[in-house]
Structure formats: C-alpha cells, structure tokens
Amino acid sequence: MSLLNNKLSTALANGTRTLAVTAALLLTVGIGSSFASPAGNGNDVVIASFHKEFRSANVISVQTAKEYTKVTFNLNSVVMFAYYSSNGELMAVVRNILSTQLPIRLLMDLKQNHADSWITDLFEIDSNGQTVYYATLENSEMKVTLRSDNTSSWTTYHKENKENSHL
C-alpha cells in the first residue's frame, strides 16, 4: 500500500511541476505581449488619447490628414468631430448645431440682420476652452460665412456674390 501511495505522490508531484511550468510559460508570454508595441496604422496614440478624453463615446470613423487626425464619433446621440495633432494632443472639438442652440444674442442678430437669408451651415468649435461659432447664410445673391468668438456679435469671415446664371 505504501508503494501505491509513493507512486501516487510522485505522479502528483510531476503533474504539479508540469502544470506550474506551463502556467509560468503562459504568464510570461501573456505579460510580454501586453508590453509589446502594437502594430497599427499610426493612429494608436490618437485613439488612446481620444478614449481618455471621451470614455463613453463610440468612434464612427478616423481620417488622417497631413497636419491632423479627425475622429468622427457619437456621444449621447450627437455626432461630433475631434481633431488631434500627430502626437495625440486634442486641438478642437466640432459639432453641428441648430440655430436654437446659439447664444440668444447671436440668434437675435441673425434674425435681425440676415432675415432675407437661410442658414446652410452652423457649427461650434471648442478649442482650448474657447467656443467659436460659424454660420453660413445664403440667399439668391450671396453666400456669407459669419464667425463669432463671443456671445453677442458676428463678424464676416468669408463672403461671395452669386452670379446670375439665368440671363
């Protein structure tokens, strides 16, 4: 009986050692691969920075240009755009807005001074804690883009006259 116990103890000891060596090998490979640099498309730093800034956002698309990377995302059912430098620094966040989302003085200024035009584009940019609004207005004669970096007045950013094509 003691011979049987001795063989059983030896088998258990050998099995335990094998299991311990296998576990150690798997842990070494697993830990080593977690510190390996990821093979990506160069946007890894930007994506990591994005996820730090916008934890609950869902990425829709990532577009890389020469000077920046644009991340289109959805946050609380609102589509927004984040612009990052190549080193992962957030440069600006942009979202399209409705005219009713403008500060009241800017909305009233549009209604009073541009009643003959319609809004074709309206968005806000947040960069370094400063919010800037852009509104593009059109009518049959012209197209003008206005800019406001305060909450009370607009300045003309760009203006173009339309040509009469039905002469």
Which residues, in sequence order, are CB contacts of 143 under 8 Å at separation 6+?
120, 136, 137, 159, 160, 162
Which residues, in sequence order, are CB contacts of 130 under 8 Å at separation 6+?
149
Please state the domain extents for the chain: 1-36, 44-161
**H or E segment and range at residue 125:** strand 118-127
Please list the pLDDT of the chain residue by residue as tens digits (167 residues): 555 455 545 544 554 455 444 444 333 444 443 344 344 566 899 999 999 999 999 999 999 999 999 999 999 999 999 999 999 999 999 999 999 999 999 999 999 999 999 999 999 999 999 999 999 999 999 999 999 999 889 999 999 998 754 54
44-161 has CATH 3.40.50.1220 classification? no
| Structure-derived torsion over alpha carbons of residues 6, 11, 17, 23, reported in degrees to the nearest 10 | -150
Entry pTM: 0.70
